[in-house]
Structure 1
Amino acid sequence: MEPGAQDGIIVAPSPPGDGRLADNIVLFGRALRKAGLKIGPGAIADAIEAVEAIGIGSREEFHAALCSVFVKRHEDLAVFDEAFRLFWRSRDLVAKMIAMMSPVAPDHRQKEKPKPGESRASDALLSDRDERRPQREAPDIEIDSRFTSSGSEVLRHLDFAQMSAAEIAVAKKELGKLQLPLDRVRTRRFAPSRTAAKVDPRATMRLALRTGGALILPRFRRPKEIQPPLVVLADISGSMSQYTRIFLHFLHVLTERRRRVHTFLFGTRLTNVTRAMRHKDPDQALDECAAAVRDWSGGTRIGETLKEFNRLWARRVLGQGAIVLLITDGLEREGVELLSAEMDRLHRSCRRLIWLNPLLRFEGFEARARGVKAMLPHVDEFRPVHNLLSLADLVSALTAGRSDTYDPRRFFGKQ
């Protein structure tokens, strides 16, 4: 290996001086790779050349240069921002010494909620520090765990947006173990039956023709039962992208094991990703979805996208008692008159409309937003979708039928 080669790349010569900027960029790239970003040796070399090209200027320019090279997917931007803040923070020793020696007043401010991607970034940056720390023999401690929670139980209640990279990987595996819904609806068609339910005249006459009418044995039929189509409309705007990406893994499992699952993504426009979701590899399926969508983590126009769906796709996919899963926070940025009309049309076109909203994870949620008020009267159920437990409840609800626990009318009095 040539001098200066790291991770299979030849690091460009550093500018005059004793700085280690190139080495720090290599270490930063390794940390991003551990956090789940798809970064190869070529990207690290390009980042070093980009920094040398722009020079050491402001922090914003340095952030923009590295972001343009390392961030390839919209959903990786939050992880990159948090990792950049942790890795490239200033080391002002004098200020820290003064802060340590000064008296500290008690902090009564309300703690901020952890940012999305913070756990993944901190785990990637601090994992090496834990590995280099000398191991000490821990004393044997007996713990009474009769009233404690297991790790899997904690994971079921953990918010998707606050999961680390390892927890997200475990959550994806848990999604594959969910018991899929066994819902069935009766159609107007018939299927042969061995029980004496209802005589099938045509089948009886066809069997009699084989024997010339000498022997007529009755044949029976029953109403045919099928699994209804499942149509998913998922919001991919900036406030919903973290939850939608995990939910797409759940939809990939459904698409593999169930027929007629149609998936649509919308932000400012509607995109049909049903064909992309049929790939066996979930990562490849989600990569194709991201490539097909141009407005990921952008704005949202719920009314306009529902209008496009009702006009172009409703008659194609909402037959035979279809169930619609609408995943959005309901924060419409335009007029709500169109949204109310299109929600009413969508509700009338399907057998069951379930609204999945991650904002329900907050206790004391109230339907105050104009978009939420316009959508609530036209849905059959209003459910949360922010952790594994909520997805398991959704699967049970698809099998059992409508539940009064998630009746949207319980929010009408809180408006």
Structure 2
Amino acid sequence: MAPAGVPAPSGHLADNLLAFTRLLRRTGLPLGPGEAIAGLEALTEIDIADRRQVHAALRAVMVHRREHFEIFDQAFQLFWRDPEAAAHAAAMALMEANKTPQEKAPPASRRLAEAMQADKPKPPKPVEEPPQHEMTFSVSERERLQSMDFEAMSAAQIAEAKREIRRLTLPLDEQRTRRFRPDPLGPMADLRATVRQSLRSGGEILELSRRRRVTRPPPLVVLCDISGSMARYAQILLHFLHAVANDRDRVHTFLFGTRLTNITRQLRHRDPEVAFETIAHIVPDWSGGTRIGESLALFNRLWSRRVLGQGAVVLLITDGLDREGAAGLAEATERLRGSCRRLIWLNPLLRFEGFQPKSQGIRAMLPHVDEFRPVHSLNSLRELVATLSDRRAAHRGRMAA
């Protein structure tokens, strides 16, 4: 049915446009009936025989973010040119599985091929009798996944863990600022606003204006180790950091191995595949050596005054194994602790029950952190979220070494 005020199109244009909208939705674009109606209206205002006008009109009304242009362009070329595009997309997906990682298509092409392949009708499954399972001694796979070490997970379990991590949020406890906002039920009287308001009634004060102090979550700064011993954990934790960066503002993320890299802007991209692909291009020292002391000293010198204001909370994610020993590590950690409100060290080595701080780097850093916590499973991440949102934990004293 055509929208009000739009003449009914002839042929199958409306049906094809609806199918094109569904294809874009399967690739991840946020489209709905409004975009389909707007696209149909746009096609009535242009020369439909001109392919360039059709492409420009549909992209103008159906795409709302620049990063979705590439997916739309590829989908438009496939859908409106070749009626057998679904079969070609299926062949592309099969060829994709046999390619090496260097030859694989970009994320947009893979997502489009998967969306086009979904158009193929699936054969009905044969009716089988439900198998009988002995559930007496079985354990829920979901509960087992919560406590499993990231390093011991299979590829399928890691994919499931990443989906669980994307649902986590990080509600840091709000801090009082120096700013005030008007509030009729506020605890403090606003004399200046009261006098200003009295001028409307000839200088007579009829009621008191009140105000309340503004509260907001503090900035969050993350320093994540991407050396060889931390590479497996860093890959999964980046999904957690991506979810946090897109859930709240004032999140600054840095990666360090043999050098320090700021990935704050790249991590704000809403599409995780595009964000991680961009990060891979700007981080040259992934799975290399570790220079924790040098990286922290560089952060203190170049970035601490920019991002550690207003009571920032710092998450330091590393195993504490430094190739330079403990040279300058204690001084750099102490200065970092003095520049922030709270320094939390997340170490995957704490997953071992008999862990002892025998490394020189760990012994140098440990006296200068507020909390020393494990980060190796979904349960440890949930405990971290609960701790950071606990107002009482934010005011505890510095932990004993």
Q: Does 1:220 align with 2:193?
A: no
Cα offset, 1:150, TM superposition: 1.1
Partner secondary structure for residue 246 of structure 1: helix
* Distance across 2 between alignment mates of 1:210 and 1:367: 69
1:143 corresponds, among 134, 139, 143, to 134
Query: What is residue 80 of structure 2 aligned with on the other side?
Result: none
Q: Does 1:197 align with 2:187?
A: yes
* Distance across 1 between alignment mates of 2:203 and 2:284: 66
Query: What is residue 342 of structure 1 aligned with on the other side?
Result: 332
* Distance across 1 between alignment mates of 2:282 and 2:133: 54
Structure 1 pair 402/353, CA: closer, same or farther in 2 (3 Å)? farther
1:370 corresponds, among 351, 357, 360, to 360
Structure 1 pair 195/163, CA: closer, same or farther in 2 (3 Å)? same
Structure 1 pair 339/32, CA: closer, same or farther in 2 (3 Å)? farther
* Distance across 1 between alignment mates of 2:220 and 2:145: 27
Query: What is residue 329 of structure 1 aligned with on the other side?
Result: 319
Q: Does 1:178 align with 2:186?
A: no
Partner secondary structure for residue 188 of structure 1: strand
The range that moved more, 163-172 or 302-311, is 163-172
* Distance across 2 between alignment mates of 1:332 and 1:407: 27
Q: Deviations over 1:248-303 (max 9, x none)?
A: 11111111110100000001111100000010101111111111111111111111
Query: Aligned ranges for residues 147-166 of structure 1 at < 5 Å?
Result: 148-166=138-156
Q: Does 1:249 align with 2:239?
A: yes
Partner secondary structure for residue 202 of structure 1: helix
Structure 1 pair 246/330, CA: closer, same or farther in 2 (3 Å)? same
1:275 corresponds, among 238, 259, 265, to 265
Structure 1 pair 322/165, CA: closer, same or farther in 2 (3 Å)? same
* Distance across 2 between alignment mates of 1:335 and 1:178: 35
Contact 2:371 2:399 in 1 (8 A): no
Structure 1 pair 40/248, CA: closer, same or farther in 2 (3 Å)? closer
Partner secondary structure for residue 322 of structure 2: coil
* Distance across 1 between alignment mates of 2:397 and 2:376: 18
Cα offset, 1:162, TM superposition: 2.1
Query: What is residue 119 of structure 2 aligned with on the other side?
Result: none
Residue type matched to 1:391 in 2?
A: L
Partner secondary structure for residue 144 of structure 2: helix
Q: Deviations over 1:203-251 (max 9, x none)?
A: 2222223333134421112221101000000001111111111111111
Contact 2:344 2:372 in 1 (8 A): yes
* Distance across 1 between alignment mates of 2:235 and 2:397: 26
* Distance across 2 between alignment mates of 1:391 and 1:38: 32
1:356 corresponds, among 341, 346, 353, to 346
Q: TM-score, normalised by structure 1?
A: 0.64
Q: Deviations over 1:109-140 (max 9, x none)?
A: xxxxxxxxxxxxxxxxxxxxxxxxxx9x8995
User: How large is the RMSD of aligned CA atoms in angstroms?
Assistant: 2.9
Q: Deviations over 1:33-70 (max 9, x none)?
A: 7xxx56549xxxxxxxxxxxxxxxxxxxxxxxxxxxxx
* Distance across 2 between alignment mates of 1:196 and 1:356: 39
Contact 1:183 1:227 in 2 (8 A): yes
Residue type matched to 2:375 in 1?
A: V
Contact 2:291 2:323 in 1 (8 A): yes
* Distance across 1 between alignment mates of 2:393 and 2:355: 19
Partner secondary structure for residue 239 of structure 1: helix
Contact 1:232 1:326 in 2 (8 A): yes
Query: What is residue 233 of structure 1 aligned with on the other side?
Result: 223
Query: What is residue 372 of structure 2 aligned with on the other side?
Result: 382
Partner secondary structure for residue 336 of structure 1: coil
* Distance across 2 between alignment mates of 1:377 and 1:197: 41
Structure 1 pair 203/148, CA: closer, same or farther in 2 (3 Å)? farther
The range that moved more, 170-179 or 350-359, is 170-179
Residue type matched to 2:204 in 1?
A: A
* Distance across 2 between alignment mates of 1:365 and 1:290: 32
Structure 1 pair 385/191, CA: closer, same or farther in 2 (3 Å)? same
* Distance across 2 between alignment mates of 1:179 and 1:154: 22
Contact 1:270 1:309 in 2 (8 A): yes
Cα offset, 1:187, TM superposition: 1.3
* Distance across 1 between alignment mates of 2:182 and 2:358: 53
Q: TM-score, normalised by structure 2?
A: 0.66
Contact 1:376 1:408 in 2 (8 A): no
Structure 1 pair 274/333, CA: closer, same or farther in 2 (3 Å)? same
Percent of matched pairs sharing the same residue: 54
Partner secondary structure for residue 363 of structure 1: coil
Contact 1:382 1:408 in 2 (8 A): no
Q: Deviations over 1:337-377 (max 9, x none)?
A: 41100100000110100000011111100000000000000
Contact 1:381 1:403 in 2 (8 A): no
The range that moved more, 175-184 or 322-331, is 175-184
Alignment coverage as a number of residue pairs: 290
Partner secondary structure for residue 386 of structure 1: coil
Cα offset, 1:182, TM superposition: 4.4
Contact 2:169 2:247 in 1 (8 A): no
Structure 1 pair 403/184, CA: closer, same or farther in 2 (3 Å)? closer
Query: What is residue 306 of structure 1 aligned with on the other side?
Result: 296
Q: Deviations over 1:311-337 (max 9, x none)?
A: 111111111111000000001121524
